Structures are given as C-alpha cells and as structure tokens.
Structure 1
Amino acid sequence: MNSPADPHDLTIRDIREEDAGEVLTLQRAAFVQEALIYDSIRMPPFTQTLDEVRAELVDNLGQVALIGHRVVGAVRARRDAALLLIGRLAIAPDVQGLGIGSRLLEAVEARGRDAGCREAELFTGSLSEANLRLYKSLGYRETQRVEGDDGVEEVFLRKPLV
C-alpha cells in the first residue's frame, strides 16, 4: 500500500486562482529553511498577502502538485515574450527530496513551451546551495548574479526550452 506521501501518487495540474490560500500556506512552510539560511523572514514568500497571491495566479502558467487532495508543491510562471519566468517553487517540507520539485519544473517548462516560450529563467539566492544543485541538474545555467538590497546575491539561471 502506498503511503500518503508517495510521490508516485502525485498529480500535477495547472495552478488556479482558487489555489491561492493553499499556495500561500505552502510557500510559507516551504521557505522556512531559506529563512534560516539567510537569517531573515523579511522575504517575499513571508510578506506576500493572500490578495497578492490570488492576483498573481490569474493567467499564471504555474503548476501545483497534489497527493490526494493535498497541495504538496507549487510553482508559478508567466510568459514575457519568448521567455518563461519561473518563480516561487515551493515543496511541503515533509515531502522535500522526493523529486516533486523536478517534476513540477518539467511540467511548467512543458506548459511554457506550449505557450511559445523558447527559454526559461528562474533565480535563487547565492546561499541556497540545494536549489542551485537542483536547477543545474535540470539543465539550467547561471547567467548573472545581482546584489540584493540585503547584500545577498541573487543568482539568475536560464535553460533553453526548444
């Protein structure tokens, strides 16, 4: 019998505006580790409001991952000409490391390709070594580093989608 957190029972579907509450809760739980790495809770995943998330999900190309009826992962994306801008990949802490993030990224990249995007871009903080390893293992290559207001570098990575 499969456990409730069995990633083989995973369903991935398009993100919806009505997912906003669950997505906000998920991102806050998922980004606790990032807050510990950067010693700050003054980051958008914690300061974003429900109304802001709801507005962001309108016409979004993102995806959610579900095990049963529980949202265990989410990623947002939007199209900017031929570029797919990917953001806020969040995986529930109790199912991190099971490949859900990789599957969500593959799904959102496919949706971006279907929408006419030729390249994907995402970013993470320079201290987020696990994120950087994941993105690089999926074919993303670093394109630039930008100094943030807090003194931490944001690392931008891109991947061709065609």
Structure 2
Amino acid sequence: MGMSVTIHAATSQDAEQILKLQYLCYQSEAELYGDYSIEPLTQTLDGLRAELADGYALVARLGDEVVASVRGKADGGGTALIGKLIVHPRMQRHGLGGRLLDAIEGHFAAEPAAKRFQLFTGHRSEHNLRLYRSHGYVQVSAKEAGPALTIVTLEKETETGAYATSA
C-alpha cells in the first residue's frame, strides 16, 4: 500500500522545496506563452520566504516530499487573493489541485473579513481555467499583459460572503 498525500500549513522550512517545485511546474506555462522571464521562474528564495511570511500557504506532502502548494493573502478589502497553485507533474490530474484549492478557501472563509476569493491565470491555461470554473469561479476581467498573454481574473463569493450579501 502506498503513502497518502497530506496537506499542512507551509513553514519557512518548506521554502526551498516549494521554490524548486514552483520552478518545475511553471516550465509548462513559460513554454505555453513563450516567456521564461515570468515571476514564478525568477522569484528568489528570499522573495519566497518574504511571501510566505506575509501571507498563508499550504503544502501537500507525499512522505517528506512537497508535491504541491498554494498561497494566499487577505487584502483587507474582503478579498482573499489565491495564487501559485502548483502540483508536481507526476501528481497532476488526481484531484490534488482541487483539494488544495478547497483547503485554502476553507482557511480564508473562516476569517470574517473574507467575502470573496480571487485568482488569475493566463488565457491559454485551459487546465487551470477548467479547474477554477469547476470550483465555482467566474471570470470578472481579462487584461492584456503583452502580445501573447491575457491575464484572466476569476472570483467567487465565500459561503459567508454570499450569505451576508443575500441577508
């Protein structure tokens, strides 16, 4: 019987494994858009550590190996900004990305200030778009970021936010 994947809050000790995984996972995005200078591929270890200290992150582990991660941060205006959802290529298409998305949403939904979740991806990132839409996200904007890239922003209300809006 194999090991199962467990999800935990990330710590600063996870930073190096997260950065290596991020570099691996964003290769396909860079290839898709023909741009290897994207921020996830140029982020430094110190930059990642600062991002972890300033927000909230989760890691999924298979034994001692970090095989997936996601980050988020509440913006103070009622929006939980979710980003850098990454899953090791060998672990993709098994529901792990969805589990992480649910887990980070659960963390921020527990905060009274979070009324909505927001994330973004590139317009050609069909797998990402499918995942986000299947979790209830809807497109709220699209902005050209260059000749080959349009950033698609998606949002969804938290259960609490939806209730408060309809009450």
Report the identity percentage: 39
Give the drift of 1:71: 0.4
Aligned counterpart, 1:128: 125
Q: Does 1:78 align with 2:62?
A: no
Count of paired positions = 157
Q: Does 1:55 align with 2:50?
A: yes
| Equivalent-residue separation in structure 1 for 2:61 and 2:54 (angstroms) | 20
Aligned counterpart, 2:151: 154
Query: 3-state DSSP class of the match of 1:58?
Result: helix
Q: Does 1:95 align with 2:97?
A: no
| Equivalent-residue separation in structure 1 for 2:56 and 2:40 (angstroms) | 18
Aligned counterpart, 1:139: 136
Regions of 4+ moved over 3 Å: none
Q: State the TM-score, normalized to the length of structure 1.
A: 0.93
Aligned counterpart, 2:164: none
Query: 3-state DSSP class of the match of 2:56?
Result: coil
Equivalence map 1:26-45=2 (5 Å):
26-45=21-40
Aligned Cα root-mean-square deviation (Å): 1.2
Deviations along 1:5-37, whole A, 9 cap, x unmatched?
Answer: xxxx11111122221111100101111111111
| Equivalent-residue separation in structure 2 for 1:144 and 1:16 (angstroms) | 33
| Equivalent-residue separation in structure 1 for 2:51 and 2:13 (angstroms) | 11
Give the number of the structure whose alpha-carbon radius of gyration is greater.
2
Q: Give the alignment partner of residue 100 of structure 2, picking from 100, 104, 125.
A: 104
| Equivalent-residue separation in structure 1 for 2:79 and 2:13 (angstroms) | 26
Gaps of 5+ in 2: 160-167
| Equivalent-residue separation in structure 2 for 1:77 and 1:109 (angstroms) | 9
Give the drift of 1:59: 4.0
Query: 3-state DSSP class of the match of 1:62?
Result: strand
Deviations along 1:31-51, whole A, 9 cap, x unmatched?
Answer: 111111111211011010000
